Structure 1
Amino acid sequence: MSLQLFGHPFSSYSWKALIPLYANGTEFEFREYTPYDPGDLEYLRRVHPAGKFPVLVDGETTIIEATSIIEYLAVHHPGSAPLIPADPAEAVVARMLDRIFDNYVMTNLQRVVNAYIANAEAPDPAEVEGGKQGLLQAYRWIETWLSENRLPPHVSLVTCAAAPSLFYADWVERIPEDCPRLIALRAELLALPPVSRCVENARPFRPYFPLGAPDRD
Structure 2
Amino acid sequence: MSLTLYLHPLAAFCHKVLIAFYENDLDFRSETVDLLDPGSAASHLARWPVGKIPVLHDAVRDRVVPETSIIIEYVQQHYPGPSPMLPREPEARLDARLWERFFDLYVSEPMQKIVTDRLRPEGGNDPVGVSHARNTLDTAYAMIDGQLAGREWATGNAFTIADCAAAPCLFFCSIVHPFSVDQNNLRAYLERLLARPAVKRTLAEARPFFSMFPYREAMPERFASGAAFV
Q: Where on the TM-score scale, by shorter chain, does this alignment land: which range?
A: over 0.9
Q: Out of 173, 192, 198, which is 1:188 matched to?
A: 192
Residue 31 of structure 1 is matched in structure 2 by 31
- Indicate the RMSD between aligned Cα atoms, in angstroms: 1.9
Count of matched residue positions in the alignment of Structure 1 and Structure 2 = 217
Contact 1:16–1:66, Cα closer than 8 Å, also in 2: yes
**1:142 Cα deviation (Å)?**
1.2
Q: 2:139 aligns with which of 137, 140, 145?
A: 137
Work out whether residues 143 and 182 of structure 1, in 8 Å CA contact, stay in contact via their aligned partners in 2.
yes
State yes or no: 1:87 paired with 2:89: yes
Instruction: For residue 38 of structure 1, report the CA deviation from its aligned partner.
Output: 2.2
Q: Secondary structure in 2 aligned to 1:79?
A: coil
Deviation at 1:154, TM superposition (A): 4.8
Match of 2:207 in 1: 203
Matched-pair contact (CA < 8 Å) for 2:145–2:183: yes
Cα distance, 1:125 vs structure 2: 2.3
Structure 2 CA distance for aligned equivalents of residues 192 and 11 of structure 1: 19
| Partner residue, 1:103 | 105
How far the C-alpha of 1:121 sits from its partner, in A, is: 8.6
Matched to 2:220, the amino acid is D
- Bigger shift: 112-121 or 95-104? 112-121
Determine the C-alpha separation between the residues in 1 that align with 2:123 and 2:213.
Answer: 14
Structure-2 change in CA distance of 1:203 and 1:19 (3 Å): same
Distance 2:123 2:189 in 1: 33
TM-score normalised per structure 1: 0.92
Query: What's 2:227 paired with?
Result: none
Q: Indicate how the Cα distance of structure 1 residues 89 and 190 shifts in structure 2: closer, same or farther if over 3 A, else same.
A: same
TM-score between the two structures when normalised by the length of structure 2 = 0.88
Could you say what secondary structure the match of 1:83 adopts? coil
2:166 counterpart letter in structure 1: A
Hey, what's the Cα distance between the residues in 2 that align with 1:27 and 1:96? 28
The Cα offsets for residues 71-130 of structure 1, whole Å up to 9 and x where unpaired, read as 111111111112100101110010000110000000110111121111479843222222
Distance across 2 between alignment mates of 1:154 and 1:3:
26
Q: Is the 8 A contact 2:8 2:14 kept in 1?
A: yes
Partner Cα distance (1:170, 1:130) in 2: 17
Unmatched runs of 5 consecutive residues or more in structure 1: none
Matches within 5 A, 1:105-184: 105-119=107-121, 123-147=125-149, 151-184=155-188
Give the residue type in structure 2 aligned to 1:132. R
Q: Cα distance, 1:47 vs. partner?
A: 3.0
1:118 counterpart SS class: coil
Deviation digits for residues 125-180 of structure 1, max 9, x if unmatched? 22222211111110001112222766244542011100111111111100112211
Moved over 6 A (4+): none
Are residues 1:215 and 2:204 paired?
Answer: no
Structure 2 stretches lacking a partner, 5+ long: 224-230
Relative distance call for 1:147 and 1:155 in structure 2 (3 A) is closer
Equivalent runs, 1:5-16 vs 2, <5 Å: 5-16=5-16
